[in-house]
Amino acid sequence: MKTTPFTEYHIANGAKMAEFAGFNMPIEFTGINDEHMAVRRCAGVFDVSHMGEIWVKGPDAERFLQHVASNDVSALYDGKVQYAALPNGRGGIVDDILIYRVDAETYLLVVNAANTEKDWRHLVAEGGTFGLRAGHELYNASGEIAQLAVQGPDAMKIVQELCPEPVSDMEYYTFRKTEVAGIKDAILSVTGYTGSGGCEIYVAKEDADKLWQALWAAGERYGLKNIGLGARDTLRLEMGFRLYGNDIDDTTSTIEAGLGWATKFVDGKDVIDRELMERQRKDGVSRKFVAFEMTERGIPRHGYSIADVDGNTIGAVTSGTMSPMLKTGIGMGYVKPEFARTGTEITVVIRGKMVRAKIVKAPFVQI
């Protein structure tokens, strides 16, 4: 099992550890609800060094990314980040990713930990047509980078103390190369997977300890807390963010998954599965991704059936939890299109019992 540069700190801080995507990762420290509320109210730090990072370089980098990514990469400018999916050529998704444009010939892709090797193989296979070679124009740097996400309303106050230049006013979905904790050329981005603000800090693995010590020294007076993957999941779910492997996968298209906003059919963009996705957008799909809130007591879980009020199966839950903010069950999943309208009453089958819920618009909470 792999470790991150921060694993020893997690164990020393009493984390409950478990395998995730091949890594020994912290699931929780003081409890999921406690950690969740710390991020909503002040600040928390997540070790996300297990995520993958892949460089795409060269004069054909943009043309290649327009082919493999669902979004319009040509709309990016230096310092801008974009969310996109990688269509798989069979109507599904290889992964959902973030694309960082450093300059016109240099892009960084941040990919899900469990999919790093799969993504790498896919990109290398597709890259050959564009003259992009593994180890040259395509470079997998995943084993060389440490990454921390500092999230919450006080996150940028803490990180600002580590930076000699102003960073607290950075726009959402932008990044910059800057000095952080005395580390030159760190990458600091503002994307987030919690909805509570904050940033991500990328440094070379050799600088991980320096970053960790400086961050905690600055964060102590703000009540900075360690946050595990358990609270990361409840936080993203309250915001309606998809999780690969649960909400999207190799069998779901971006149109079915409600990611049409990240699927652009601009002129000249020969993206994989374009014809299929355009047809789905025009003619409709057989299932739609929805968010729902329980109106009776119950906690929806991945894999539970969704039924109409008469008990007819209409879909399935892909993610669900008890919302720490709302104190009620919330979930997401796929249903037949006629049941996808906001306000529609549905039921979730929990241990053989039909428990009432209703379709709502995500996010579930307003921060």
Asked whether the CA dihedral 109, 113, 118, 121 is positive or negative, the reply is: positive
Return the closest-CA partner of residue 292 out of 214, 233, 347, 353. 347
DSSP structural state of residue 89: S
Q: Distance between alpha carbon 219 and the CA centroid of its chain, in Å? A: 24
Kindly report the number of other CB atoms within 10 A of residue 25's CB atom: 26
Specify whether the CB–CB gap between 328 and 319 falls below 8 A: no
**What gap in Å lies between CA 220 and CA 35, rounded to an integer?**
15
pLDDT at 242 over 90: yes
Percent of the chain residues past pLDDT 90, beyond the cut: 100
Q: State the distance between the two ends of the chain, measured CA to CA, in whole angstroms.
A: 37
**What gap in Å lies between CA 188 and CA 165, rounded to an integer?**
12
- Token reading at 358: 């209703």
- Token reading at 202: 């990328």
Q: Give mean pLDDT, residues 117-127.
A: 98
Q: Give mean pLDDT, residues 277-281.
A: 98
Asked whether the CA dihedral 276, 282, 286, 287 is positive or negative, the reply is: positive
Residue ranges per domain, the chain? 7-49+143-238, 52-140, 260-360
**What gap in Å lies between CA 192 and CA 363, rounded to an integer?**
14
Q: Give mean pLDDT, residues 238-264.
A: 98
- Token reading at 238: 């309250």
Cα dihedral 307/310/312/316 (nearest 10):
0
Query: Average model confidence (pLDDT) for the chain?
Result: 98
**Strands, DSSP E only, in the chain?**
16-20, 23-28, 44-47, 52-57, 81-87, 93-103, 106-111, 138-140, 145-151, 174-180, 183-190, 198-204, 225-227, 288-294, 305-307, 313-322, 329-335, 345-350, 353-360
- Phi-psi domain of 250 (left: phi exceeds 0; alpha: psi -120 through 50; beta: other): alpha
pLDDT digits 0-9 by tens, 188-225: 999 999 999 999 999 999 999 999 999 999 999 999 99
- Token reading at 336: 């037949």
How far, in Å, are 102, 139, 165 from residue 66 at the CA level?
16, 18, 34
Percent of the chain residues past pLDDT 70, beyond the cut: 100
Q: Give mean pLDDT, residues 111-132.
A: 98
CATH number, domain 7-49+143-238 = 3.30.1360.120
**What gap in Å lies between CA 266 and CA 19, rounded to an integer?**
41
DSSP 3-state of 278: helix
DSSP structural state of residue 122: H
Are the folds of 52-140 and 260-360 the same? no
Q: Give mean pLDDT, residues 263-281.
A: 98
Q: Domain 52-140: which topology?
A: Alpha-Beta Plaits (3.30.70)
Q: How confident is the model at residue 367 (pLDDT cuts 50, 70, 90)?
A: confident
pLDDT digits 0-9 by tens, 31-75: 999 999 999 999 999 999 999 999 999 999 999 999 999 999 999
pLDDT at 276 over 90: yes
CATH class held by domain 260-360: mainly beta
Q: Give mean pLDDT, residues 83-103.
A: 98
pLDDT digits 0-9 by tens, 326-342: 999 999 999 999 999 99
pLDDT at 305 over 90: yes
Angle, vertex CA 20, rays to CA 56 and CA 232, nearest 5: 85
pLDDT at 125 over 90: yes
**What gap in Å lies between CA 294 and CA 300, rounded to an integer?**
8
